[in-house]
Amino acid sequence: KSPTIVDKSAALRVAARRIAWAKTMNAGQTCTAPDYVYVHEAKMEEFVDAFKSSVHEFYSAHVAQSSDYARIINTKHHNRLTGLLEGLEIIHGGAHDVRSLFIEPTLVRGDWNSAIMKEEIFGPILPVFTYSDLEEVITKINTQPKPLALYVYTEDKKVRAQIISQTSSGGVAVNDSIVQVVSDTLPFGGVGDSGMGAYHGRHSFEAFSHAKSTLVRSTYFDPSIKYPPYMSNLKNIRRLMRFF
């Protein structure tokens, strides 16, 4: 579950637009999609409005009729996703149609006790939490399995450095989402539960190559201390240790 943090210093309109794009790309069915977002409480209303505006900008007010918006891969996953909405407060969206495998881009009020926070969503549903204390957000993220990606939206270098240094994830993107995957100069991969190893560019070569270790020793000096009988050698070692 790749988290997103939207700091109070973030450029909100740009942040919401980029998060909406990343969350609705292929209807959220990408492994690096933002899975949930923490928004500073002072920016929550502005974030929601900007997210809605971005969805309308991308897909019009009638998302179901947009040729640019994808569908859920099959009925099983459509039903799984709509099932995750049960009992949640829907902030925006929520429309769905199993016949066309359509689920509208949806914002829901975050609830750590809900089913949606127990698994990777892999769909166009985004739980939103508010926060006032960044330390608490970092602590909560660190109690979860390590994510494949972590996204930070901030104009504050200290906040950026704090989040990057105090969390662990496969990769981090600052003031954008998903685009870190397309860089051939950055290694792409997970850590812990999100996977091991990395690839892309030179890192792909290294990932699929074996570094063969080779030791070459001189025959000029061959001390007997490594050879049996060990007990007599141990006595010699003890004698030597007296001088150190």
Position 104 scores a pLDDT of 98
Position 227 scores a pLDDT of 81
Q: Does pLDDT of 244 surpass 70? A: no
Average pLDDT over residues 12-22: 97
Q: What is the pLDDT of residues 170-205, one digit of tens each?
A: 999 999 999 998 888 887 777 877 777 777 778 788
Position 197 scores a pLDDT of 75
d(CA 160, CA 153): 8
Higher pLDDT, 206 or 29: 29
Q: Is 31 a catalytic residue?
A: yes
Read off the DSSP letter of residue 188.
Answer: B
d(CA 54, CA 174): 19
CB distance 167 to 159 below 8 Å: no
Q: What is the pLDDT of residues 54-109, one digit of tens each?
A: 999 999 999 999 999 999 999 999 999 999 999 999 999 999 999 999 999 999 99
Active-site residue, selected from the candidate residues 11, 31, 48, 186: 31
SS3 call for 232: helix
DSSP result, 103-169: E--EEEE--TTSGGGSS---SSEEEEEEES-HHHHHHHHHTSPPPSEEEEE-S-HHHHHHHHHH---
